Amino acid sequence: MPRIVVVYSGGLDSFTLLNHSMDLGHEVFPITFDYGQKHKKEISYAEDFCQDESLALKVVDITEINSLLKGSALTDNIEVPKGHYEDESMKTTVVPNRNMILISMATAYAVTVNAEEVWYGAHGGDHAIYPDCRPEFVNKINEATLVANYSPISVKAPFIDLSKHEILSIGLKLGLDYSKAWTCYEGKELACGVCGSCAERLEAFKINGSEDPLEYSN
């Protein structure tokens, strides 16, 4: 099994991906980034889980880059939209070039720890809104990282063809505790339950006939 770097935000998708990779027997090196996002509470969730699992989470502070990431509801003074993930309004949650930036840094980390692959949690439900979560992007950035260093690093998105509820189904079968994964874009004390990210998460639990253990304000 190859050693892999997992981009681990602390959200449902990356939480499932990290646990899935460990279940497959990979040696994993989780990495997360503070880029000035409003919902940086997800970082504390990532830290807590990795501490519980004795995983060495690499937390990278790139908050200075926030000045380059204007125009997104996740990093700028713009209201986080309510509604479903596929609504047109959700395009305001696109952070300019985010995955290109984060995957590039994760690739550098992979070279440093002698890993062979970088995994991130893009999935089928992301395709309508997020260009850097589409198969075309994954294919292109993989081509670049294979030749960017002396050590070829592959970029993979194992959930690229799956919906949110299908990803959740994988985690539920693994017996994962989803109270340890933060999803809400608001980043307040309790999850809001009405932003696009919360709505999609709650819908996934409903489709799976399961109850979300996270506490919500709505």
Global confidence as pTM: 0.88
DSSP code, position 148: S
Query: In the chain, how many domains are there?
Result: 1
CATH code of 135's domain: 3.40.50.620
Mean pLDDT in residue range 103-117: 97
Q: Is there a domain that residue 187 lies in?
A: no
What are 151-164's pLDDT values in tens digits? 999 999 999 999 99
Q: Is there a domain that residue 35 lies in?
A: yes
Whether residue 212 contacts residue 205, with contact meaning beta carbons closer than 8 Å, is answered with yes
Over 90: is that where the pLDDT of 3 sits? yes
Over 90: is that where the pLDDT of 99 sits? no
Over 80: is that where the pLDDT of 147 sits? yes
What are 31-83's pLDDT values in tens digits? 999 877 766 788 999 999 999 999 999 999 987 776 665 544 454 454 554 55
How far apart CA 128 and CA 188 sit, in angstroms, is 27
How far apart CA 74 and CA 118 sit, in angstroms, is 24
Q: Is 154 helix (H, G, I), strand (E, B) or coil?
A: strand
Q: Residue 171 — φ and ψ, nearest 5°?
A: -65, -40
Query: Nearest-CA neighbor of 129 among 82, 86, 80?
Result: 86
How far apart CA 166 and CA 205 sit, in angstroms, is 10
Q: Give the residue numbers spanning the domain of 145.
A: 4-76+96-182
